Amino acid sequence: MPVQLNHTIVASRDNKQGAQWMAEMLGLPDPAPFGPFMGVETENGVALDFLTHTGEITPQHYAFLITEEEFDQIFGRLQERQLRYWADRHRNRPQQINHNDGGRGVYFEHPDGHLLEIITRPYGSGG
């Protein structure tokens, strides 16, 4: 069997709230409990397992490859909620999107401080 990413643990101040926020923003199914985790599953079967963490949370980066239609939907939710977003990972281009590789991309923050990215074209795909 080829190597595949199956799941990753996402530190959260509240696993239920963190997972629900992620599912809503990305338009994914409601989170499902599994032991101490609340899992959010992506279309390709990778689970983001939110775990309540009482200490300091080290922000991580999570990037999602999505369709143009999904971009419009997620970006619409960002705007509806008046959330900050950036065209770059260094957050030097606020309230802008990028057009890397001929697609669209944007960065935004999860309430627990993680930097999320949505892109419509994989890096290096040209365009």
Q: Buried b / exposed e across 58-81, counting CB within 10 Å, b at 16+?
A: eeeebebbbeeebbeebbeebeee
pLDDT tens-digit series, residues 80-89: 999 999 999 9
Q: Give the pLDDT score at 127.
A: 65
pLDDT tens-digit series, residues 9-53: 999 999 999 999 999 999 999 999 999 999 999 999 999 999 999
Coil/strand/helix, residue 67 = coil
Strands 61-65 and 37-41 come out as unpaired
Q: Give the pLDDT score at 126.
A: 83
| Contact assessment for residue 52 and residue 15, using Cβ atoms and an 8 Å cutoff | yes
**% pLDDT > 70, the chain:** 99
> pLDDT category, 1, cuts 50, 70, 90?
confident
Task: For each of the domains in the chain, give its residue range(s) and CATH number, in order of start.
Answer: 1-55 (3.30.720.120), 59-127 (3.10.180.10)
